[in-house]
Chain A
Amino acid sequence: MAGEKVLLVDDTRLNRELAKDILEIEGYKVIEAGNGKEALNRARQNNPDIILLDIELPDINGLEVAKLLKEDPQTRGIPIVALTAHHQPDDQSSFLAAGCVGFISKPFDIKTFPKMLANFLK
């Protein structure tokens, strides 16, 4: 947790604020994006260490965003973790198929959330 850069993509402002505060307490640097387009731009400009990606986004679906990031040689190597309020078992396999390394479901526990993220960064 030595100041790794996290790109946090979520269209719900309150949830973004919550995740950002938790991560900043833990010492992460947080870059925010509120939709798919912003997510793609920020990923290319800021070269984050990891991307937390909400799946339900207003413009481009999160799964599509993940695929685009995986196709781009510049962003291909960045691990993506799906951040989702979906709870259906079918969803989980689609995250992995889109190139995510795993997922964190919302609501998340504020204690386990940074630990889960740290695990994905290992």
Chain B
Amino acid sequence: MGKQKESHELKVRRTMKDKSETKSETKFISTISHKLRTPLNAIIGFSELLLDQVYGELNEKQTHYLKNINSSGKNLLVFLNDLIDLLNLKWGEVRLEYSDFSLSQAINQAQMSVKAFAEQKNVSLEVKDDSNLLTIKADENKFMKILHHLLSNAVKFTPPGGKVEITTRYLKGPEFNPSSLFPTPCVEISVVDNGIGIKPEDQERIFSEFYQVDSTLSQDFEGTGLGLSLAKELVRLHQGKIWVESEEGKGSKFTFVIPLDE
């Protein structure tokens, strides 16, 4: 009894310590975010204001340099947002906010978030929604982030003229489908591209932070290097699974499955 009580107290104390640590880490992350965001506001904003030429005409070189400053600032902001998300997922406090939302609308919105990038690269985006699900229950915001990261990864590694397709399936529980990974009904979303593909030995590693398969590629495929690890963390938070099937030179298929019961 005594021993049991002691271990219980120890556990309580440890949980309390963990909580206060999480709190100070959350504060730390929030401070970094604030400190970096404030000067970025000036970098992005002033360069944009000058590019608008409200204060006079710019010559070609000035426009070019200002565009460089502006797009670097924006890239840094995307990186900062991804980094803050990842730090919060790893060290901070992240809660899922479940709600019922329209699957097709969420897919649409995620698609919109990469539309400009896809158009700029001449990559077409398509959706094949076979799930017949009107609504699903998940954290809508985080669900869209998962999809956004998979889509932007797919567009990034697909050559001009290529195609990125989103497919969905509804998976019943094992009583209907013994091969199902989950005991409860799930939704399965895949993002399929016909891009450069991934070697078998790299297929697990690409979910690690900053891991890029070939560093010589990173010049051409500039990104934050955090998208896939963020997607993985967000899927894990939903008690789901994410994996990739791929063949070099032919393309990749990223799939995630999340249970539909909270």
For the residues of A in contact with B, the DSSP-based class is loop
B129 within 8 A of A: no
Q: Which residues of A contact B77 (CB under 8 A)?
A: 107
Q: CB distance A108 to B49 under 8 Å?
A: no
CA A71 – CA B41 in complex, angstroms?
31
Q: CB distance A87 to B33 under 8 Å?
A: yes
Q: CB distance A107 to B33 under 8 Å?
A: no
A32 within 8 A of B: no
Known A15-B42, A88-B26; contact A21-B37, beta-carbon cutoff 8 A: no
How many B residues touch A, CB cutoff 8 Å? 22
B7 within 8 A of A: no
Closest to B43 in A: A107
A110 within 8 A of B: yes
Instruction: Return the contact of A85 from the options B33, B44, B48, B52 (Cβ within 8 A).
Output: B33
B40 within 8 A of A: yes
A68 within 8 A of B: no
How many A residues touch B, CB cutoff 8 Å? 18
Closest to B97 in A: A89
> 12 interchain pairs (CB within 8 A)?
A12-B42, A18-B41, A18-B45, A85-B37, A86-B33, A87-B81, A88-B26, A88-B33, A88-B88, A107-B40, A110-B45, A110-B49
Interface residues of A, Cβ cutoff 8 Å to B: 12, 14-15, 18, 21-22, 25, 56, 85-88, 91, 106-110
7 pairs of A and B residues whose beta carbons are closest in the complex:
A107-B41, A85-B37, A14-B42, A106-B41, A18-B45, A85-B34, A110-B48
